[in-house]
Amino acid sequence: MKHSLIFTILRKDLGRKLVALVLALIVWFVLDHNLSDKRPFTLDVEIFKLRSEAEKERKTRPGIFIVVPDHIIVRNLPRTQITVEVRGLKTDVDGMELSAVLETPEDVLGQEHEVRHSFVLDRSQFRSQRGAISASEFRIRPRRINLILAERTSQTFDLDFSNVQVAGIPRGGHYVDTTQCRVEPSQVELTGPRSAIAGLRADPSRLRLESVDMNGQGLDVARQVGLDPELIAQGIELVTAGKVVSVLVPVLPEETEQELLSVPVQYDSAGDLVLRNLRLVEATPSLDLIVGGPRHVLDALTDEQLRKSITLKFDWRDAGLEMATEKVRIHSSLPGSVRVLGLDRREPEIHYQLAPIEGAEPINPEPPGPPGAQEELP
């Protein structure tokens, strides 16, 4: 009877305590759910040269700002974002902005040109715009930022067409002539890790500019470009305004050539031969020509149109006394970009032979005029 009474009392007491515990847990859960919050913050990692600049930035926006002295360059920044999970009162967590300023020691390189340096992150390094951080949980992932730091050096390099890169296909009937590219300025200063700059000095062909997109272009393209992304990834920078240079890439019409056969030669001043007591024995009646120029110009013209646009002339006042080979004058109404040459790709020439009129003494001609040149028809 006594044991039964004790058991009954204990059972009732345990029941009351269990109910109280359950009620306490429910109250705790409700309060925790309503009054606390857990929130992740993603913070960008950025590099600054001066602590004053980093401190100024942390007042305006969240982030992790690493101060690296100007004589040191960061070879890599493998992780550019850090995640921080904060748990605390909703009033503290809502609207919270986290930031941290980490400073690299001035003598971090020691006697080396390149070293590895790590920052181990902890709660004490972080600040909120509201001041001290009140949080029951503060988890950082990852906790370590690993950097490769190198000694910075500078060197002057020449730039020309060989440093220009192009990509894409220009408009149909045109081509890009990279050998005529112009770069301004033609001499620039590059700064970067000592080993990377030394590599460029040893092999200047590795110095490449950012590619210029030529896709669909039919006219010369002018662009402001920086260094090739591969060089930027090595920590190399242009020491120019905006870290860019000006590039002009020529776009030229494709060239083509076609033969134009049996173009007649027009001989002028035949009466001059009689005045000089000379007669014509023979002269080249026509010439075979090569017409070259932009494809889009020549493709638009038939052979007959080309023939009508070109006149070959020779003036007998320029002739000698007997036989000779002379250049003819080319009169053309074609665009200036079109050239007219002989089949040997030289200025076209005619051959003639003269003889004295029987019983008459030949008369020396006036000094000949300048060699034949391409002229425009009126």
Q: Sorting pLDDT into bands at 50, 70 and 90, what band is 223?
A: very high
Closest to 217 measured CA to CA, from 167, 263, 288 = 167
Task: Give 228 or 365, the one with higher predicted confidence.
Answer: 228
CATH of domain 35-151: 2.170.120.30
Mean pLDDT along residues 149-167? 95
Q: Please compute the mean of the pLDDT values over residues 351-371 and round it to a whole number.
A: 71
Q: What are phi and psi of 294, to 5 degrees?
A: -60, 135
Asked if residue 289 has pLDDT above 70, the reply is yes
What is the pLDDT at residue 146?
A: 92
Say which CATH superfamily domain 159-253 falls into.
YbbR-like domain (2.170.120.40)
- Average pLDDT over the chain, rounded to whole? 85
Tens digit of pLDDT for each residue in 136-154?
Answer: 788 999 999 999 999 999 9
> What pLDDT score does 30 carry?
47
* 342-354: average pLDDT: 90
| Average pLDDT of the residues in 262-290 | 91
pLDDT exceeds cutoff 60 at 3 = no
Nearest to 10, CA basis, from 377, 2, 293: 2
pLDDT of residue 76: 80
Residue 317 has pLDDT above 80, yes or no: yes
pLDDT of residue 227: 97
**Domains of the chain, residue spans:** 35-151, 159-253, 255-376
pLDDT band for position 96 (50/70/90)? confident
Average pLDDT over residues 196-218: 94
Q: Do domains 159-253 and 255-376 have the same CATH topology?
A: yes
State the Cα–Cα distance between residues 163 and 258, nearest whole angstrom: 35
* Range 295-302, long-range pairs (CB < 8 A, 24+ positions): 295/173, 295/253, 295/254, 295/255, 295/256, 296/173, 296/253, 296/254, 297/253, 297/334, 297/335, 297/337, 297/338, 298/256, 298/258, 298/338, 299/256
Q: Does the N-terminal peptide bond of residue 204 adopt cis geometry, omega within 30 degrees of 0?
A: no
Is the CATH code 2.40.10.10 the one for domain 255-376? no
pLDDT (0 to 100) of residue 28: 47
Q: How many other C-beta atoms lie within 10 A of the C-beta of residue 164?
A: 24
What per-residue confidence (pLDDT) applies to 24? 55
pLDDT (0 to 100) of residue 37: 78
Picking from 88-97, 118-127, 242-251, which range would have the lowest pLDDT averaged per residue?
88-97
* pTM of the predicted structure, to 2 decimals: 0.56
